[in-house]
């Protein structure tokens, strides 16, 4: 989705944000309560999906993410392996010698050096991980959680909503936010709507929302991970028509020493993405 420095903190289990104290009965009481409940529900959802320890300790996550942008007549298809702790990653493109990725210290690269890939590599390298990794990627100390008052209806069922927004130090696109749709009884996440403000792909104008589902949950290493996604348009907070879909396949956890994340000889390193200032 968006590549952020904050992602490096996603394995900080149970990290709690600091709430500003206020007088009992003051105007901030309800805000603080909704933030506390939002954090609690998200952590319960992480446990329901298998727990942050398994996400962190199972090893390297390998999967194929085939993103059908039917509204644009294009498909993005890569096989990727990611370290959920360091966020080092390597992508291979089927039927091609093109590879690209991210080092553990946050540098992006592509090989061969003159290869082209769209969307921008610095944006795309961790985007699929950020979706297949819901809700585990939201165990992050640069996120504020808020339980929303209203439920959201999708396919005839009402879901609890938790909004996640980022601190001003959260990297390239701190104005991004997600709203999770949780099943009230189980805390399983059905989907999320989100914004994209990364400067590599956001060119200004109104910020739009999209809704993505978590479909065909499968047990991989004791974790409930999506086996596919559907993407819907949104207008004024209303989920609209399906516009895209994603096939998720070949999902597995690998031993940590089975993949060398060192960029190939002759790989080209890409310029860092300038961090945007958060809009207050």
Q: Where are the domains of the chain?
A: 30-269
pLDDT, position 175: 74
- 3-state DSSP percent of the chain in helix, strand and coil, to 5: 15, 35, 45
> At a CB cut-off of 8 Å and minimum separation 6, what does 11 contact?
52, 55, 56, 84, 85, 139
pLDDT, position 14: 33
Please report the DSSP string for 72-93 in residue order: TTEEEEEEEEE-TTT--EEEE-
Query: Closest Cα to residue 17, out of 141, 100, 122?
Result: 141
The Cα 246–Cα 44 span in angstroms is 26
pLDDT tens across the length of the chain (280 residues): 444 443 433 333 233 223 233 334 555 777 788 789 999 999 999 999 999 999 999 999 999 999 999 999 999 999 999 999 999 999 999 999 999 999 999 999 999 999 999 999 999 999 999 999 999 999 988 899 999 999 999 999 999 999 999 875 545 555 789 999 999 999 999 999 999 888 788 877 888 999 999 999 999 999 999 999 999 999 999 999 999 999 999 999 999 999 999 999 999 999 887 665 555 5
The Cα 273–Cα 199 span in angstroms is 8
pLDDT, position 130: 93
Evaluate whether 235 touches 223 at the Cβ level (below 8 Å). Answer: no
Angle of CA points 207, 19, 177, to nearest 5°: 15
Backbone φ and ψ of 277, nearest 5°: -85, 140
Task: Name the architecture of domain 30-269.
Answer: Clam (2.50)
Q: pTM for the full model?
A: 0.84
- DSSP label at residue 8: G
Query: Closest Cα to residue 180, out of 218, 137, 220?
Result: 137
3-state SS assignment for residue 16: coil
Evaluate whether 124 touches 95 at the Cβ level (below 8 Å). Answer: no
pLDDT, position 33: 80
The Cα 78–Cα 75 span in angstroms is 10
């Amino acid at each position: 989705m968006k590549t952020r420095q904050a992602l490096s903190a996603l394995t900080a289990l149970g990290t709690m944000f600091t709430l500003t104290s206020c007088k009992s009965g003051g105007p901030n009481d309800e805000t603080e309560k909704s933030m506390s409940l939002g954090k609690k529900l998200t952590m319960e959802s992480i446990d329901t999906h298998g727990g942050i320890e398994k996400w962190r300790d199972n090893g390297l996550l390998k999967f194929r993410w085939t993103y059908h942008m039917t509204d644009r007549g294009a498909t993005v298809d890569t096989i990727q392996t990611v370290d959920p702790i360091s966020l080092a990653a390597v992508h291979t493109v089927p039927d091609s010698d093109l590879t690209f990725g991210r080092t553990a210290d946050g540098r992006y690269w592509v090989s061969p050096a003159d290869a082209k890939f769209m969307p921008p590599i610095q944006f795309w390298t961790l985007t699929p991980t950020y979706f297949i990794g819901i809700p585990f990627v939201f165990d992050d100390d640069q996120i504020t959680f808020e339980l929303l008052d209203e439920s959201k209806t999708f396919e005839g069922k009402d879901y609890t909503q938790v909004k996640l927004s980022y601190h001003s130090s959260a990297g390239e696109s701190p104005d991004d936010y997600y709203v999770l749709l949780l099943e009230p009884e189980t805390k399983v996440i059905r989907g999320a709507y989100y914004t994209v403000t990364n400067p590599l792909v956001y060119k200004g104008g109104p910020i739009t929302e999209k809704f993505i589902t978590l479909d065909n949950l499968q047990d991989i290493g004791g974790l409930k991970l999506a086996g596919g996604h559907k993407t819907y348009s949104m207008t004024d907070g209303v989920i609209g028509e399906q516009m895209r879909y994603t096939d998720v396949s070949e999902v597995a956890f690998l031993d940590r020493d089975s993949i060398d994340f060192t960029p190939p000889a002759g790989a080209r390193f890409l310029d860092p993405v300038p961090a945007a200032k958060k809009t207050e």
